[in-house]
A = this chain, B = another copy of it.
Amino acid sequence: MKLSTRSRYGLRAMYDLALRYGEGPVPLNSIADRQMVSLHYLEQLVAKLRRAGLVSSSRGAQGGYELSKPPEDITVGDVVRVLEGSFDPVQCLSVDFDHEDCEQLDDCVVRFVWKKLQDCTNRVLNSISLRDLCDGTTNLKGKACGACASDSQQAMGTC
């Protein structure tokens, strides 16, 4: 259940880009400096995000990267899914899992646990947009997980 540095660095880079959305291309070395990440390593992460259509690039001097959509249209889940490959906790939950590979799939109670875990992480990550990050933690604290409708939970910031 560890996140790799790819997600951590990558999300920080996307947050950096979201803060500068609309100001033209942001060169990668400035992001690397601010976020204290190796430029070359960041290049690889951003390349994935570009191929996934989350950022667009302009080459040459005065070039750089920018979000290809407004920050409110990109969720943390979008970013993490690209960088982490997927966050299905186990293979038998992935959409392209071959049902022949496990005979007890439908009534597997253990799988059911992982399914709940997957639902929950998806819900959290999909409910937070880059815009939410820009608006800061104060705003985020009050944000529910997207499925939990209880006001008291929202007020407590626990869900």
Q: In the assembly, how many copies of this chain are there?
A: 2
Sorting the interface of chain A by its residue count into under 10, 10 to 19, 20 to 34 or 35 or more gives 35 or more
Q: Mark A67-92, 1 if CB is under 8 A from B, else 0.
A: 00000000010001000101111100
CB-nearest residue of chain B relative to A153? B147
A151 CB to closest chain B CB (Å) equals 9
A158 CB to closest chain B CB (Å) equals 6
Q: A90-B8, A148-B159 are in contact. Are A124 and B133 (CB under 8 A)?
A: no
**Could you tell me the distance between the alpha carbons of A117 and B12 in the complex, rounded to whole angstroms?**
16
User: Would you list 29 pairs from A and B whose C-beta atoms are within 8 A, ordered by A residue?
Assistant: A1-B80, A1-B84, A1-B88, A1-B121, A8-B90, A8-B110, A8-B114, A11-B113, A12-B110, A15-B109, A76-B113, A107-B137, A109-B133, A109-B137, A112-B137, A116-B124, A116-B128, A116-B145, A117-B124, A120-B121, A120-B145, A121-B121, A145-B148, A147-B159, A148-B149, A148-B150, A148-B153, A149-B152, A149-B153
